[in-house]
């Protein structure tokens, strides 16, 4: 119960609709009260046969192997996330099949797939292992893995992480000044950290990189650098 799934609406009835689950070999029922909020006079005004949509499982009968699903209980974010997840899985599957073909092993596709399935549950997990350079030895044949890595490198942009800290920076009376603030930020930017002006004395330190620890490290170094100006500047940093 509560699982977010993709459905195809196959047959509409006066008080609901029958659906097939896109990712499983199963069917489900969509009661009219779960189609949309409010009173529904004509169900055909809200759904159509052949429509693909995102639904939430709201009832399960284990004995009868029956499912009821809801469209109205799915939030906009859940719908977007599910579609993105499904599209990523299909894309990863395509890369995997292309890699097997590039290695000249189309005839062993199922065998290679079953071997990989002993370690990962989805093609997306396999894709993440390649992107993060964490592929275990032996999970794929060496030639298939090499082809997979090359295909991913050509088609997938590396992950990029971003961290931002809010900064309140003021000159201390009789000591720091605008020139001091400018100098401090020039040194911060030399560390690979962007300084965003949000209206003095409010600024933002922003860093990007291929891993979270790397990005967090840049921000921490910028924070340490600003600490040395505390005699001339009032420095307050908030995550």
Q: What is the pLDDT of residues 57-114, one digit of tens each?
A: 999 988 888 899 999 999 999 999 999 999 999 999 999 999 999 999 999 999 999 9
CA distances from 37 to 4, 24, 32, 33, 81 (A): 18, 27, 10, 8, 21
69, 28 Cβ separation under 8 angstroms: yes
The answer on pLDDT for 157 being more than 90 is: no
What average pLDDT does range 138-167 have in this prediction?
Answer: 91
Distance of CA 97 to the CA centre of its chain: 23
Q: Where do we find the tokens 């910028």? A: 222
Beta strands in 130-160, from DSSP E residues, in sequence order: none
**What pLDDT, on the 0 to 100 scale, is given for residue 170?**
85
Report the interhelical angle of 76-102 vs 109-117 (nearest 10°). Answer: 130
| Rounded-to-integer distance, Cα 158 and Cα 160, Å | 6
| Rounded-to-integer distance, Cα 222 and Cα 205, Å | 8
Edge-to-edge strand list for the sheet holding 202-209: 194-197, 202-209, 161-171, 233-238
Query: Does the CA dihedral 105-111-116-121 come out positive or negative?
Result: positive
**What pLDDT, on the 0 to 100 scale, is given for residue 175?**
65
Burial of 106 (0-12, 13-18, 19+ CB in 10 A): exposed
Give the number of C-alpha atoms closer than 13 A to the C-alpha of residue 209, restricted to the C-beta side: 17
The answer on pLDDT for 229 being more than 90 is: no
**What pLDDT, on the 0 to 100 scale, is given for residue 5?**
96
What domains appear along the chain, each with residue ranges and CATH number? 4-74 (2.40.50.140), 77-155 (1.10.150), 161-238 (3.30.70.1130)
C-alpha closest to that of 117 among 86, 96, 95: 96
**What pLDDT, on the 0 to 100 scale, is given for residue 199?**
86
0.85 exceeded by the pTM? Answer: no
C-alpha closest to that of 42 among 22, 17, 70, 64: 17
pLDDT band at 209 (very low <50, low <70, confident <90, very high): confident
The answer on pLDDT for 174 being more than 70 is: no
**What pLDDT, on the 0 to 100 scale, is given for residue 210?**
76
**What pLDDT, on the 0 to 100 scale, is given for residue 212?**
83
Compute the mean pLDDT over every residue in the chain, rounded to the nearest whole number: 92
CA distances from 184 to 179, 194, 218 (A): 9, 12, 15
């Amino acid at each position: 119960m509560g699982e977010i799934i993709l459905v195809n609406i196959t047959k509409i009835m006066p008080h609901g609709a029958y659906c097939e689950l896109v990712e499983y070999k199963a069917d489900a029922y969509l009661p009219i009260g779960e189609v949309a909020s409010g009173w529904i006079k004509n169900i055909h005004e809200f759904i159509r046969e052949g429509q693909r949509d995102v639904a939430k499982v709201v009832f399960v009968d284990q004995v009868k192997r029956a499912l009821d699903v809801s469209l109205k209980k799915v939030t906009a974010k859940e719908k977007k996330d599910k579609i993105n997840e499904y599209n990523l899985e299909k894309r990863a599957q395509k890369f995997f099949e292309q890699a097997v073909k590039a290695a000249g092993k189309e005839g062993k596709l199922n065998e290679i797939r079953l071997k990989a399935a002993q370690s990962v549950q989805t093609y997306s997990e396999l894709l993440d292992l390649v992107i993060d350079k964490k592929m275990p030895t032996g999970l794929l044949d060496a030639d298939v893995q090499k082809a997979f890595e090359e295909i991913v490198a050509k088609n997938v942009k590396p992950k990029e992480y971003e961290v931002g800290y809010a900064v309140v920076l003021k000159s201390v009376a009789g000591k720091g000044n605008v020139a001091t603030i400018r100098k401090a930020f020039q040194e911060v930017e030399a560390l690979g950290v962007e300084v965003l002006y949000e209206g003095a004395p409010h600024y933002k330190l922003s860093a990007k990189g291929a891993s979270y620890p790397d990005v967090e490290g840049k921000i921490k170094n910028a924070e340490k650098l600003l600490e040395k100006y505390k005699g001339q500047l009032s420095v307050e940093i908030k995550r």
